[in-house]
Each structure stands twice: as structure tokens, then as C-alpha cells.
């Protein structure tokens, strides 16, 4: 069984790992979550801590998750922004396609709006159609109608109020409805 002192010290260490994950050197990060052995060790350690103590196991999963996310973030930040790379297109000559220079973070999203270079000389790309810019007003206009009610005719208002009885007089009410033709014969 884990004592309170061990639990708090373990949570403290795992909290430090969680907070310091963005500042861990690449070599240490690659050694822990960059290979399959490190991944299995982290998951097995988290599961073992989870079996011993729920709070420590949860903290271990959070710390391991922070390490995984930081490793994936660093891998993705090293990717080129947009356009074909030389590794992706080995059949093209080296002079025709140059790998783009990596751009800083938010500029990558903006570079997705620019089209990629032609893969074959003379490619035709039709222009994108832009939708019409119609302004729509939600205020009433002449074509939207009016709020005045026009009755259809007299036949719409032929409903009559049915007589009602108390719950104790259900037999009398059934007999009255049968006499007036509002209910069928009792079964």
C-alpha cells in the first residue's frame, strides 16, 4: 500500500514532468516516447501505478500524455509547410521541384490557401467560382406577407363544447352520450 507521503511525492514528480514537458531536450524525449520500447515502458508504468493507486495512475497518464503530445508537436513542427517535397516525388528531376523552406507556425495555415506547384508541365486548373454576395435582411418587406388573419369560411368554426361529468358519474355520462349519438353502444 502507498503511504500519503509517497502519494504526494509521486504526484509532485509527475506534476513537474507534466509542466516541464515542453522544455525537455529532444534527445531525452526521443528516448522516452520516440521509440516503441519507451512507449511500452511508459504505458506499463502508468498501468502499474493505476493498479496501485488511482490518483497516481491518473497523474502518470497525464504526464505520459504530455510527453507524447510534446513529441508529436516537435515532429510536426519540423515538417515542411506546403507543396511537394523531393522525397514524395522521386520521379521528378531535382531542378523542377525544390522543397519549400519551413515557415513559422501560424503562417503555415495561411500557406495552405496558395495552390501547389504543377506536377506536370502545362497543367490546367480552372478558376474557383466565388458565390454571389447577396445581402439578406431579416426585417419584414412587402414580399414577406402580413400579420392580418383572413378566415377561410364559416365551416372552420363548427365545433361545440361537449357536456362533461364528474368522475363518479361515468355511467350516467356514457348513457347520455349514447342517447345523443356521440358514443357507440357499450360493449
In a domain, 50, yes or no: yes
Query: Residue 84: pLDDT band by 50, 70, 90 thresholds?
Result: very low
In a domain, 37, yes or no: yes
In a domain, 44, yes or no: yes
Q: Is the dihedral of CA 60, 66, 69, 74 positive or negative?
A: negative
In a domain, 13, yes or no: no
In a domain, 106, yes or no: no
pLDDT value at position 160? 76
User: Which residue has cell 491518473?
Assistant: 58
Mean pLDDT of 145-155: 71
Q: How many CA atoms lie within 13 A of 97 on its CB side?
A: 19
Written as nine digits, the cell of 141 is 418587406
**Residue 87 in this model has a pLDDT that exceeds 50:** no
pLDDT value at position 159? 75
Domain that holds residue 62: 23-77
- Worst-scoring range by mean pLDDT, 48-52, 97-101, 170-174? 97-101
CA–CA distance, 88 with 103 (Å, rounded to integer):
19
Query: Residue 82: pLDDT band by 50, 70, 90 thresholds?
Result: very low
The number of folded domains in the chain is 1
Higher-confidence position of 126 and 17: 17
Count of Cβ atoms closer than 10 Å to residue 60 Cβ: 25
In a domain, 57, yes or no: yes
Amino acid at each position: 500500500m502507498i503511504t500519503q507521503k509517497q502519494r504526494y511525492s509521486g504526484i509532485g514528480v509527475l506534476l513537474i514532468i507534466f509542466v516541464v514537458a515542453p522544455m525537455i531536450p529532444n534527445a531525452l524525449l526521443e528516448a522516452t516516447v520516440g521509440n516503441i520500447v519507451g512507449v511500452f515502458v511508459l504505458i506499463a508504468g502508468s498501468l502499474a501505478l493505476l493498479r496501485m493507486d488511482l490518483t497516481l495512475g491518473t497523474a502518470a497518464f497525464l504526464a505520459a500524455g504530455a510527453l507524447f503530445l510534446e513529441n508529436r508537436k516537435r515532429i510536426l513542427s519540423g515538417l515542411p509547410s506546403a507543396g511537394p517535397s523531393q522525397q514524395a516525388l522521386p520521379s521528378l528531376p531535382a531542378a523542377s521541384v525544390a522543397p519549400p523552406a519551413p515557415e513559422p507556425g501560424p503562417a503555415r495555415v495561411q500557406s495552405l490557401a496558395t495552390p501547389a506547384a504543377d506536377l506536370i508541365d502545362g497543367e490546367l486548373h480552372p478558376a474557383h467560382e466565388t458565390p454571389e454576395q447577396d445581402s439578406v435582411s431579416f426585417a419584414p418587406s412587402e414580399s414577406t406577407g402580413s400579420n392580418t388573419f383572413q378566415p377561410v369560411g364559416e365551416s372552420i368554426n363548427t365545433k361545440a363544447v361537449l357536456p362533461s361529468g364528474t368522475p363518479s358519474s361515468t355511467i350516467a355520462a356514457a348513457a347520455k352520450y349514447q342517447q345523443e349519438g356521440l358514443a357507440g353502444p357499450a360493449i
